[in-house]
A = this chain, B = another copy of it.
Amino acid sequence: MGKLTIGCFSSLVGSLSLDFAVKLSEAAVKKGHSVDFWVSSNATMLSKKGQRAFKDYSALAKTLQELFATGKFQATACEACAEARGYGKEDTMEGWKRHSMDWYLASTFSADRVLLIGGD
């Protein structure tokens, strides 16, 4: 079984790229792989606590919680990117870590595959 590191820089709603990244993570974990998930830039929105689920928007919080529960998935948001958007530590969804960008680079060191989803 391998390790997949996903970097995602896309925005929460409006682009389905984040949905893709989360669904891909789900499929990889289901097959026994482990996944490191990094969000930067507008994708840090994914780590925001308290997103209200509307049917017009993709609501990914539940899937993320299920992924965290497997123990094979870790997710980290870029700290500066979050602060620039007014998300403090207290705004972060349970399970998420916040680090600087070197966390992502370090994660790629031991990754078997790296997928960078770059931009909207």
Residues of chain A having any CB pair with chain B under 8 Å = 9, 11-15, 41-42, 45, 48-54, 56-57, 59, 80-81, 83-86, 88, 91, 119-120
On whether the beta carbons of B42 and A57 are closer than 8 Å, the reply is no
Q: Is the interface of A mostly helix, strand, loop or mixed?
A: loop
CB-contact partner of A80 in B54, B59, B120, under 8 A: B54
**Closest chain B CB from A19 CB (angstroms):** 14
Residue of B nearest to A51 (CB): B86
| A54: B residues at CB distance < 8 A | 80, 83-84
**Set of chain B residues within 8 Å of A12, measured between Cβ atoms:** 42, 85
Residues in B neighbouring A11, C-beta threshold 8 A: 11, 14, 42, 120
Query: Which residues of chain B are near A59, meaning CB under 8 Å?
Result: 84
Q: Indicate whether A88 sits within 8 Å of B50 (C-beta atoms), given known contacts A42-B42, A120-B120.
A: yes
Q: Are B85 and A48 in contact (CB under 8 A)?
A: yes
